[in-house]
């Protein structure tokens, strides 16, 4: 595990332990970046803006992104191994979602960039000769990319790819819990001949460490962050001091609505997937499901049975996170009904030292209960009945978050009525996490600021400038 600064690898810094979440044992050490190293990384990124990188055309950058994608693809199994070692997620998930999506992030922005143009206008003038106005999009400069532990490579590349596509330089800080794939990505960048200083990686924690020093750095021109809402508020205050733009994808307490006219089998299967993929450690996962009363009992019984039958799920990322989730389950068990799960599983092998929580289905809690209101980010879903469409929307839209939601219905009119009425950034009807990388992605309220994906990311990472030429 090494930092990557100014085109070179650096292992300096006080080491901190790296844990295997599945077994709870230390498997390595990661160097923690000093303030001086963070400063050097920002300086290298600033210097690169004034170097050959500034002269690269959009076509040059597009070809570079394809080379990076090729590099990840060529080391596919290494990336899968690193992703699984860091997060404990099932290998099938990393091999079919995380690593392919990282490759797709670079390829999609490379292709989008290659076909992107700028706008121009012919403007009449009093002398009749006119003027030509056209826009030029320029990079923001040095961008800090702070990525989370749940989808380490996917969410890192989701920001790095458009940032590089638009000509910025990047200083990335991956989560201290999951640094492996960021280290491999730095190696791929070097192999792809990315100019020195264009892409940098520093490791360490958040508060009073690399994360804080990076987001507060006066040489950082913009911050792109995915993580919890409280951390987003802290970063926003730091960026506000120098009026640096921010792009935030933050927490969620996502709702699912199941109407009586839905295909019940499809709704149960979809909710199992939306609630328990990566053991609920995905910002888009469903944590609360509202079911129309005539089918509530049947749905609850089927979902609980499905949760009890789940195998091959992964652990929580850390002991602290496991304890947080189990703390919520303790509150739920005292105040509501546990339909499935509710604790830590026992394996009778070395996994019993790991950070595991059973897939859990709850019911019977009031809407103001912490389990229903607060983001848990684990394999926990709460079920409650509703009687009318208006009541369902009121439940779904309550609370501080607004990231994603699912709607399960066989009525196409209801689908088009309910989905746009949800206070979220993305709503799925009769599916979950079906993504087109060109569409806007992000949340409202405490779930984020701005949108990522397609032109939305390219617009954030670049500044439009108008040029007026009198003819």
Which positions are annotated as active-site residues?
A: 249, 283
| DSSP summary character for residue 194 | P
Cβ atoms within 10 Å of 409's Cβ, excluding its own: 23
What span, in angstroms and rounded, lies between the C-alpha atoms of 128 and 137? 29
Strands (E) across 32-168 are located at 120-123, 131-139, 142-146
What span, in angstroms and rounded, lies between the C-alpha atoms of 215 and 236? 9
What span, in angstroms and rounded, lies between the C-alpha atoms of 30 and 33? 9
What span, in angstroms and rounded, lies between the C-alpha atoms of 450 and 440? 9
Contact 184, 82 (CB under 8 A): yes
Q: Which two tokens stand for residue 391?
A: 């009541």
Dihedrals phi, psi of 223, to nearest 5 degrees: -130, 130
Q: Which residues pair with 288 in a beta bridge?
A: 255, 382
Q: Which residues pair with 286 in a beta bridge?
A: 254
DSSP of 19-57, one letter per residue? Answer: EETTTTEEEEEEEPPPHHHHHHHHHHHHHHHTSGGGG--
């Amino acid at each position: 595990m090494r930092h990557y600064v100014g085109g070179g690898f650096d292992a300096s810094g006080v080491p901190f332990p790296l844990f295997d979440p599945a077994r709870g044992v230390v498997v390595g050490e990661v160097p923690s970046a000093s303030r001086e190293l963070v400063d050097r990384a920002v300086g290298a990124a600033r210097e690169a803006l004034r170097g050959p990188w500034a002269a690269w055309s959009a076509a040059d950058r597009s070809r570079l992104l394809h080379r990076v994608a090729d590099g990840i693809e060529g080391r596919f199994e290494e990336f899968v191994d690193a992703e699984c070692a860091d997060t404990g997620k099932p290998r099938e998930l990393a091999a079919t979602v995380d690593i392919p999506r990282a490759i797709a992030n670079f390829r999609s922005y490379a292709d989008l960039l290659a076909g992107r143009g700028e706008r121009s206008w012919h403007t009449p003038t009093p002398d009749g000769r006119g003027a030509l106005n056209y826009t030029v999009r320029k990079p923001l400069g040095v961008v800090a990319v702070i990525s989370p532990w749940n989808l380490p490579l996917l969410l890192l590349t989701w920001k790095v790819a458009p940032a590089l596509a638009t000509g910025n330089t990047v200083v990335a800080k991956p989560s201290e819990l999951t640094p492996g794939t960021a280290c491999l990505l730095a190696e791929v960048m070097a192999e792809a001949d990315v100019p020195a200083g264009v892409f940098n990686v520093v490791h360490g924690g958040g508060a009073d460490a690399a994360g804080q020093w990076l987001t507060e750095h006066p040489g950082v021109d913009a911050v792109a962050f995915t993580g919890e809402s409280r951390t987003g508020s802290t970063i926003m205050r730091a960026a506000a001091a120098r009026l640096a733009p921010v792009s935030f994808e933050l927490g969620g307490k996502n709702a699912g609505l199941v109407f009586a006219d839905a295909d019940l089998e499809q709704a149960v299967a979809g909710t199992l997937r939306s609630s328990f993929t990566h053991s609920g450690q995905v910002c888009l996962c469903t944590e609360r499901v509202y079911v129309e009363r005539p089918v509530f009992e049947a749905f609850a019984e089927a979902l609980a049975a499905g949760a009890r039958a789940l195998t091959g799920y992964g652990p929580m990322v850390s002991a602290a996170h496991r304890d947080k989730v189990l703390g919520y389950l303790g509150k739920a068990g005292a105040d509501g009904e546990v339909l499935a799960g509710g604790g830590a599983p026992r394996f009778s092998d070395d996994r019993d030292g790991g950070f595991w929580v059973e897939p859990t289905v709850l019911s019977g809690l009031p809407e103001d209960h912490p389990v229903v209101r607060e983001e848990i980010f684990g394999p926990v879903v709460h079920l409650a009945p509703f009687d009318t469409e208006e009541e369902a929307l009121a439940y779904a839209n309550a609370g501080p978050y607004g990231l994603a939601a699912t709607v399960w219905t066989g009525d196409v009119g209801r689908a088009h009525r309910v989905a746009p009425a949800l206070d979220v950034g993305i709503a799925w009807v009769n599916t979950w996490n079906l993504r087109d990388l060109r569409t806007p992605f992000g949340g409202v309220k405490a779930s984020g600021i701005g949108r990522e994906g397609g032109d939305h990311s390219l617009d954030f990472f670049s500044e439009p400038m108008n040029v007026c030429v009198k003819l």
